[in-house]
Structure 1
Amino acid sequence: MRALAEFCGLVARAALWIAGVGLSLMTAIIAAQVFYRYVLNNSIVWSEPFSVILMGWFIFFGAAVGIREGYHLSFDILLYVVPTRVKLALFSLSDLLVGLFGAGMAIYGWQLCASAWDVKLPSLGLTGAVDFMPLVGGGVLILLFSVERLLRRAAGLPTARFGEVDMAEA
């Protein structure tokens, strides 16, 4: 379990770095586009599609890390009134459903990549599949981190913020 946790921690850290660099790069590109358009009366033709691709990467990678750390959206009012064993079951059900959603993202994102492979993005000269690659990457990470949370809970180990209960009460 320790090896899985260390591996997932490294993957999460790398995903956050990629997301942070992507956000910073997108901000710089959009700022340059504004400068070019309004000061130089010119335009950077590839800035918008490239920024949208970057945005996909940092949104999906950031969301996946949020799931690992327990910061995804939840409706937890019921958790205040149920016993600890029920809480653990509900947390596990939530992680299972989120993992299935991640698997769906990866599978259907891969199908979208395959269908757009022969399409060329005119301003970038890249395959249209790059538009859907963040969906695949984010889906794989969501699945990985959901499985990690399920395995940690099954082993009696705490997960990050969401889903933590005193295991002595269970």
Structure 2
Amino acid sequence: MAAGTSACDKVLDALARLCLIVAGVLLVFLIFSFGWLVFGRYVLNDTPTWIEQSSLLIVVYITCLGAAAGVRFHSHLSIDFLREGAPRPLRLLMQLIADAFVIAFGSVMAWQGGLMMVNNADRPIPMLGLSESWRSAPLVACGVLLVIFTGADLIQRAMSTRKGR
């Protein structure tokens, strides 16, 4: 059972790392596109109009992918001195409640993002020509990843609690 858990952890860690890599590449693209915006505006006197809309789209992807990876790697800002100072049963209950909230939030995020994707499929993003659904796709991906990553943590914690660790 432990080998399956570690294989699952490796897959989920690789998925979270992939999220960070994609977010990093998009961040580099964002930086270069803003450089092109400044160059076009002040040197060429011809502002590239597509950069604003593409930047708004890219920021959503960077944020959602980074948030999902942060949940997997437990790197989000948290104030946990109250939980860590509590007795073990209460600490486990607090972790369970926090995980339940994250799973509920991720589920609603994925569902509502999916509805937004369907409802905006026929509307183009101005200056880009892409479907407005591209703006909602990161919400779906992030919501699903939040549920998967948090669910895996919850299962792993339940298994280790059962074993008495």
| TM-score, with length taken from structure 2 | 0.90
From 59, 63, 86, the counterpart of 1:59: 63
From 101, 119, 126, the counterpart of 1:97: 101
Letter in 1 for 2:35: A
Partner SS for 2:106: helix
Distance across 2 between alignment mates of 1:81 and 1:155: 22
| TM-score, with length taken from structure 1 | 0.87
Identity over the aligned pairs, expressed in percent?
Answer: 32
* 1:35 and 2:70 are equivalent in the alignment: no
Q: Is the 8 A contact 1:110 1:133 kept in 2?
A: yes
Higher fraction of helix: 2
From 100, 107, 111, the counterpart of 1:107: 111
Q: Which runs of 5+ in 2 are unaligned?
A: none
Letter in 1 for 2:41: R
Aligned residues: 161
Q: Is the 8 A contact 1:67 1:145 kept in 2?
A: yes
* 1:148 and 2:142 are equivalent in the alignment: no
From 116, 123, 126, the counterpart of 2:127: 123
Letter in 2 for 1:60: C
* 1:23 and 2:49 are equivalent in the alignment: no
Q: Which runs of 5+ in 1 are unaligned?
A: 158-166
> How big is the alpha-carbon RMSD for the aligned residues of Structure 1 and Structure 2?
1.9
Identify the structure with bigger relative contact order (alpha carbons < 8 Å, sequence gap 6+).
1
Partner SS for 1:127: coil
Give the CA deviation at 1:5: 1.0
Give the CA deviation at 1:77: 3.4
Q: Is the 8 A contact 2:114 2:140 kept in 1?
A: yes
